[in-house]
Amino acid sequence: MATVTQLTEFDEVVDVRTPREYAEDHVPGAVNRPVLSDDERARVGTLYKQVSAFSGRKLGAALVSRNIGDHVETSFMDKPRAWRPLVYCWRGGQRSAAMVHVLREIGWEAQRLEGGYRAYRRTVVAELPLLARRYRFRVVCGLTGSGKTLLLQALHDLGAQVLDLEQLAAHRGSVLGNIPGRPQPAQKMFESGIWWSLRSFDPQRPVFLESESKRIGGLQVPEDLTLAMRSSECVWVESNMAARVQYLKQEYAHLLADSAVLAQQLDRLIQLHGRVTIERWNDLAQRREWDELVRELLERHYDPAYTRSITANYARLPEARPLRIANVTEADLLGAARALLESASQLRLALP
């Protein structure tokens, strides 16, 4: 058997749990090769409880054998002789044992994850607070539309260590922040993504991330990470209003193209701004006066809300280094990223 610390030592991690279990959370990068479907597992469990354990095991054996055979014929047939998979189920029990037995009989050096997914999840929960305190974070702050997310991407492209929480959460972090075609992951999967990213970083180098609230869409940022971010060094990204408006029109083009969805999202702000204001914003949308609509949303909603939140929560904001970006373009952001990395290299970044 192998332990959670050995996850990266294998050619592939194979999750043999049901698709529903896999969708809720799994080892990042693991492939789902279920030995029982959701319905099949329910059938086996019902038979086990209502008839007898023996009857349940017979049905389970038949279904598991058939499904493993299908995987061998499809997903595994092209694997080379030297392929080394790590297999896990819920507790490292019968489902993963059955898959490992067949794979090893074929000749592959398959191993089972000790304790299965349950052991993996316990490791994530235990290590997240420790990882949040291990690194020196540099928090990228700035008003909506100033290019914070693109700056993180530029930093990543230049080789910096970046924790992109909005990418992991599949959400831009605002009331209009849903990403079309990308539903948010489950909370456990979000935490898995954070854990997987943090454990790969070098503690001697800074980790850049964007200022976030406690929630990103429907997901909760782990408390220890939130606390670590809010006590970290900040960088303040500045961009003029015209550049921010143009950038946001591109970033939220999917909303501008669907007035019904946009109106539905704007209605969520009625309690904050009143029906008269929301009707005006919907009217601007109907007349396709996008520059005016985006500018008003920034001036009356996003900028005041962001300023209140970040001033209250980020203790080191007053000492933040300003980073001015004339236009939210690839060239300007790349230059800003280089400047940030140059300043970081001049600091002593190792934790005391």
Active site residues: 89
The answer to whether residues 239 and 148 touch, using CB atoms and an 8 Å cutoff, is no
Cα first-last separation, the chain:
37
Q: Which structure tokens are listed for 101?
A: 């037995």
CA distance 45 to 341: 55
- Edge-to-edge strands, sheet with 111-112: 31-32, 12-15, 85-88, 111-112
Closest by CA position to 340, among listed 98, 169, 152, 191? 152
Pairing of strands 111-112, 219-220: unpaired
Compute the Cα dihedral for 289, 290, 293, 295 and give only its sign: negative
Which residues, at least 6 apart from 108, have a Cβ–Cβ distance to it below 8 Å? 79, 81, 83, 84, 85
CA distance 318 to 312: 11
The answer to whether residues 102 and 68 touch, using CB atoms and an 8 Å cutoff, is yes
Residue listed under structure tokens 């489902």: 95
